[in-house]
Amino acid sequence: MATKYQNLSEYNADLMPDKETVVNQRYAIAVADWNPQITHTMLHGAIETLEMIGVKSENIEVIHVPGTFELTYAAKTLINLNKFNSIIIIGCVIQGDTPHFDYVCQSVTSGATELNLIQNGCPVIFGVLTTNTLQQALDRAGGKHGNKGVEAATTAIKMANIVW
């Protein structure tokens, strides 16, 4: 969670798998194009982090969907390809004047949880901002609270490399 106590872009590189472990792994990112000033900044943070940790750029696939609601369908489609070590979903829903915010947030959260409960070995990482204001989203997409895309990428690598 992004708070004044934790910058999302900070992580301990010593706790990450070594480059030899991740160099040939494959990662997918489904990104919502709604609120692109937020989601595309998070996308760039995720890609840069995956590459910095050792994932080859050609092993990172990005698909764009219209909005956050569509992310779970995209993730399910990517899971069915059976070629990724982890999938990151990136979106941003900002509170408005209608209950639409609640429905979209609940739907994508439940959908991501359900996909993670499928016994397929491919974790789905929740990189979705659900904020009350645009400023809160900006603060978490490269602003004073870091970039949640970075957090999603480090989480994807850690979850893909859980040792049984």
Residues marked active site are found at 100
Cβ atoms of 92 and 128 closer than 8 Å: yes
For 98: left if phi > 0, alpha if psi spans -120 to 50, otherwise beta; the answer is beta
Backbone phi and psi for residue 76, each to the nearest 5 degrees, phi listed first: -60, -40
| Alpha-carbon distance values, 78 to 16, 50, 51, 61, 135 (Å) | 24, 18, 20, 10, 31
Give 23-59 as a DSSP string: TT--EEEEEE-SSHHHHHHHHHHHHHHHHHHT--GGG
Distinct helix (H) and strand (E) counts, the chain: 6, 6
Cα distance between residue 85 and residue 25, in whole Å: 6
